[in-house]
Structure 1
Amino acid sequence: MSGTPEGPGPTAGTPRHSAGPATTECHTPWPPVGAECSEPHGYRAAFLAATLPMAVVDHEGLVVTANEALGGLLGRPASALTNQSAADLLDLAADGRTWHAYREVLHGRRSRFRCTHRLKHPDGRALWAEVTVVPMPGQVAGAGDGSVPGRVLLSVSDISDRRELQKRLRHLQMHDPVTRLPNRTLFFERLSAALETPPHGDSASGHGRVGLCYLDLDGFKAVNDTMGHRIGDRLLAAVAARLTDCAAQDGAHRSGAHLVARLGGDEFAILVEDSAGTQQLTDLARSVLAALQQPFDLAGQRLSVSASIGVVERAVAGTSATGLMQAADTTLYWAKADGKARWTVFDPERNAHRMTRQTLSSNLRPAVERGEFTIEYQPLVGMADGVVRGVEALVRWNHPQFGMLSPNRFVAIAEEDGSIVQLGRWVLQSACRQARRWQLEHPADPPLFISVNVAVRQVWDSDLVTDVAEILAETGLDPSLLQLELTESAVMGSAGRPIQALQSLSEMGVRIAIDDFGTGYSNLAYLSRLPVSVLKLDGSFVRGFRYDEGAHPSPADETIVEAMVQLAHRLGLTVTAECVETAGQAERLRRIGCDTGQGWLYSRAVAPERIAELIGTRPMQG
């Protein structure tokens, strides 16, 4: 039995009379074949000659009379059906819900019943039948006044053709025309069912698991663009066949068949219901990569493709279709970012970092407007006398959720989404204003210069020259007291507008420093053509100045630094050593000829009030 009985039920606690259509043709039930009735012979003739299988059934469910069409459907003479149980003939008692609804109509407590289920035809074929039961015209059944319950008219419609058409239409709606695989709609339908239905009756233990391999072909767009969509479609169909083979082989050795679907474009998914664990999924992903790496022969074209695969495996309990697909999409992105042609397993810790990154990205611009950023300053100290010459402005984000964040947590994000322009201008303006304030508060001491980091995107996406000029004019800070720091790779890997902007800033009197020098191009000859004033040696060189375990210094780093310092001085540049942590390092750097030093030996980055105390003095060391 299949389908759901139709028709309104009775009012709770109250028997309901039959609601058959009113008629004055005949007020007595139809008699069996051969009995006399003065009025309904026209109806009886139509009943007997009808091609629709029908029967009159009494209140006990027994056939009073049936037409030849019903007899032909059931493979018996119509007369042989008399006094037979209609429920037994049509298998109406196989389903409890259907049986109850049918009995409700027989006893006048329901006005109509309809259900759909499979019947076996006498010729052996199965057919889909729609069974309808309604009260006979003019019957008053179950009146509750002692009257005899009326009879009902039962009809059976063969709807096999309609069901087959519906099945074909559903198949077309649920399958991809290019690969013949299930499409996105059917995939999500099956996925949702897998997450809702405990496998093998395991609902009590909650041990059911589900796995997903979500893959994307690498470089498929190039195939479409260079060879046309016809070849592209053939490639997709060939890929689908190999995925199906891989899934079938894995399913044959595991828990059963897997669903392979095309989700759109060149994206495919393999759903593993009742997964045996992550190892099963990674084995499947490995076999898929190996299968796809074999060349494809398509209409004389020999093509090779690869795929990136995101692998997710988890318990069914607590997993939603949306959550599983988000994890799979994230993991697929990781596989592509890690180099493509590989599979990557979902990592909760890595995902948490990504979510944190997304949160920071979405909050960056509003955070500037809300004033969540602050600036700390780290002294730049003269190596010869230990006096503070300037400070570097280091921005901090006082995030309401994650606490105080250092620049390495958010500057790269700001550069990616462009918010570095807004943030960078605020830092530049705040730092220049603070430098001018120190100058006015300590007129007897040499003024400190302020060093501010600048991203290349600030040069490309804004008029940095104009911004600097306006800020200097607004704060009254002399241009010679402003130093702008750019990384070595950013400066030397740029051309055109960035170089022109640096040249204009240098002509204005602003000093240009290359930060982290020695980690990028390290092309000192190129420096002669750039408007650079200062080199800041990367801290990795300075850390190499430490003594090894045998108390003997390693001279390699010292030799490199000495050579760079000498060449820089010959080019008219000053040198700042970063990450100075010990007095021994400071002494060796001073002996080599470094001009200034910066690091924890002198001071960590501190609030502006602490810098004010250091002006004109030697900072504490150690």
Structure 2
Amino acid sequence: MKRAGLSLQSRFQIAILSGLALVLLLMALLWFREQRSQEEAIEIARQSTHTLLAEQMRLSGEAQARQLADALANPLYYFDLDAVGILARNALRAPEVDYVLVYDPQGRILHDGSGDIAAYGRPMDDPLAAEVVAAKGPHTHLSDELLDVSQPITIGDERLGGVRIGYSMAAVARAESGALSSLREQFNAVNQRSMSWLLLMFAGLTLLALLGAAVVQRLLVRPIRLLGEAARQIEAGDFSTPVPESARSDELGDLIRAFGRMRDSVARHDRDIRRVAYSDALTGLSNRLAFRETLEQRLRETQGTSSQLALLFADLDDFKRVNDTLGHEAGDEVLLQVAARIEQAVASVDGTESVVARFGGDEFVILLQLGEADPDSGIRGKAIRLAEALVTALSEPMLLHGRQVLLGGSVGVAIFPDDASTASLLMKNGDIAMYQAKVAGKNCYRFYSRAMDQAVERRVRMEQELRGAWTRGELSMAYQPIYRTQDRVLVGAEALLRWNHPEYGAVAPSVFVDVAEQSGLIEAIGLMALQAACTEAATWPVPADAGEAPFVSVNVSARQLRSGELLQQVADALDSSGLAPERLHLELTETAVISDEAYATELLGKLRQLGVRVWLDDFGTGYSSLSHLRRVQVDGLKIDRSFITDLLRDPDDLALTSAIIAMAHSMGVVVVAEGVERQGQYQLLRERDCDLVQGYWLGHPLEPQAFLDLLR
């Protein structure tokens, strides 16, 4: 999405306002600093005044306490409480005196200036009492609210007691407040004069900034704005808007003239750029970008109407094998032929308007819309006709380098607005429908349904639950017996992974292994399966009629083969389990081996040096030939079950199977037939000297203990 930016004029205005704001901020800081300085000066004056007044109060209190102590000496000596009371009451009437206490040497109150002397004989219990009684001379304590002054009363060396006078500091506070109030008034007068000068300076700067902005607007911003308007028109594809002419001889005039020349150049190349940007380089069809824009435009045009659109996703089945086996040039030729067949299939559906695009790789997309001449027919019926035509066209053989290739295609269909209301959602649902067509067996078409979303969600949930399934004990191994064909002796077993889900029960391996492959979990699960199979096979006894310990064959995925860690993982599994290397057979699909033949050849050679046997699984289903066996050395190959299934009915399958057995034996390769489910199949394989067989007729996959019992 295009992000709106600030115009040049706005930026100048922001710069000017920012400058003014900065000046205003500096003035405010200066004002704040002046205020702080004044407050600091006032605080210093307050503290000095407070100290001075407090000191005067202290000296006055101490003098009065000494005079009262001297006057009380004789009355106290003769214990004349009336005379003591008169002196205490006179002292209590003095300004700012809060209390007067006359006490004996033990700190008991003798008189407090009252008429009835209610506190007579009571000890002084305030926090200062102990210090006052213990003091040998005058004692003074000053706080914010009170000044306490005490003076011992003595005659000669004899101490008769003492007197305490408490003075309120309120008078000091009032005097202090009055002095500070006068000082603040003087400072305020100075502040008002300073503020007037600051405001005058700010007004002058503001006026200067406005004048500068007007000059910049006239000489710079306005011409650049006109250029910006012209640039936006060019950006929108309108190259007819004239560029403003200028006779200026400065840099801006040069820019305006250069911009005009640039517009002419862009206009010349626009058509070429659009052709390159909106078409697929290989097929000449629209690409993803062009198709997306067309789709969104069609959706906008149909909003508010009853019109419908159909989106068809077509994806070739097993196209990767063409690139892996015949090369990318052959793959490009396949894509050209496919593009031509799709256009022919689209042209065969009358009464529609269509857009065909290649999204990349082997994925093609068709947008189907009813034409103006046939607006009343159903879009779903047209989509079915086109989907059937696409499946038929893509399933026809292709001739590549003198070789016939069969591919097929899976097609997914989504209808607007029934299945989606936006372009993104329509494309997503069409892709989901295409994926369901592949799940249904490929070479077919499927319409999107909301149940497909649930299927995708189930797949995601299955991936999440597959993580940690081994740790939770849900994954386990099963072993399908493998027999020697000539004497039907048990010689080994294929290790198969089983998942017993606590909610779904037994999950088919074809389901969860595919999920593990696509999510990458197969690397961790495959390693654990390898370790478990080696550990259990190490405990297998030798059958009485076999003559040697049975082997275990373990399937290895393409991801494990490409990971670069397979050799070390196999060595570690053999070492930890104690299994003899020749008793471990690794099964790899031929497509996984052929996809990177050089790397696979090197890796398989190292595995065979380790003593491990290597088998090629599902042989005959890909584009491989027996010539690959000369370059990729293997110990055995397993004929795919699809050939064994029709062995009794299809002479071609029987001839092909016989040829594979004979040619493999000529190269010293062991042949294994899987999927043997009938006695007749077994007899034919025995007659043709197939080495090993496995299948339900011979034995179903068994749990580890059941297979161990079978060996015994």
TM-score by length of 1: 0.48
Q: Select the structure with the greater relative contact order (CA < 8 A; seq sep ≥ 6).
A: 1
TM-score by length of 2: 0.43
Q: Per residue, is there more helix in 1 or in 2?
A: 2
